[in-house]
Amino acid sequence: MSITASDVNKLRQMTGAGMMDCKKALTEAEGDFEAAIDILRKAGQKVAAKRADNATNEGVVLVAMSADHSNGKIIALACETEPVSKVADFNNLASTIIEKAAASHAPSAHDLLAEPLADGRSVEGHIIELTGRIGEKITLAAYENVSAEKVVSYIHSNNKIGVLVAFENVQGADVMEVGKDIAMQITAMKPVALDKDGVDSETIEREIEIGKDQARQEGKPEAMLEKIAVGKLEKFYKEQTLLNQQFVKDSSITIRQLLEQTQKGLTISSFKRISLV
């Protein structure tokens, strides 16, 4: 059958695929638009499978906050190359996904990928389709959904790092400014946990072994290695857990002390940091 320019343009408007891809899909589907859409989706799946092992260190991080700042959601839509991260279709999809996250309150990345968008197709389906159109791997690299008495967000200037900080026991205090300072510290200092109780056992064991090796190389007696390693672990906690870190704007106080100075009893219940770099 004859495929008209109008048919091709209609499919292009429906899918966003290129003119030649739309014409090819319509020809293969003998003019059946639904079948042509399926063909384009399958093309995206083939590209995704072929490039599954490719690294995705580019992309964009976006955040959505509730009006009362009691909830924040953050996503990282990742791709392989910087030029693709600047393509309008890529950024439009990222914006659509964070809007869907804000509206749906999806609890996990798996749930968010399954959420339907305006045309009824899932978030994952749209990502696969865009993968086929652009020709490189695109993935929802991260998604976090945080609720608390107050949540403060921060997106780094390159839009590749984002942070959410959850505050409790606010008692009416304005925590936006201090929250941003803390979020910026999390961005730069990359704490591994909120406090030492949040450090996983694998990390603790690794740090103890590193401490022992360092002491051994310094010629310390074997009987002293464990004690020295435990001492080094305490230093690790001070440097790598948020509440025990020195505040970057005032090294005379820790983040825990900064919270107490801001509002007596103010605490951070959790934080999330996602990064494409």
Convert the pLDDT of each residue in 120-162 to its tens digit: 889 998 898 888 888 888 999 999 999 999 999 999 988 999 9
Q: Which residues are registered as beta bridge partners of 116?
A: 122
List, for residues 152-199, the tens digit of each pLDDT value: 999 998 899 999 999 999 999 999 999 999 999 999 999 999 999 999
Query: Range of 103's domain?
Result: 52-147
| Ordered alpha helix ranges (H), 64-122 | 82-85, 88-104, 109-114
153 within a domain of the structure (yes/no): no
* CB-CB neighbours of 96 under 10 Å: 15
19 within a domain of the structure (yes/no): yes
Q: Say yes or no: 140 and 56 in one domain.
A: yes
239 within a domain of the structure (yes/no): no
For residue 68, pLDDT beyond 80: yes
User: With b meaning 16 or more CB within 10 Å and e meaning fewer, what string describes 235-269?
Assistant: ebbeebbbbbbbbeeeeeebbbebbeebbeebbbe
In this prediction, residue 41 carries a pLDDT of 75
In this prediction, residue 254 carries a pLDDT of 97
Q: What is the CATH number of the domain that holds 76?
A: 3.30.479.20
Q: Say yes or no: 107 and 126 in one domain.
A: yes
Q: What percent of the chain has pLDDT over 90?
A: 67
216 within a domain of the structure (yes/no): no
159 within a domain of the structure (yes/no): no
44 within a domain of the structure (yes/no): yes
Q: Say yes or no: 92 and 124 in one domain.
A: yes
Q: Say yes or no: 77 and 102 in one domain.
A: yes
Q: How far is CA 128 from CA 20, 52, 119, 154, in A?
A: 19, 12, 15, 29
Q: Say yes or no: 45 and 56 in one domain.
A: no
Q: What is the CATH number of the domain that holds 39?
A: 1.10.8.10
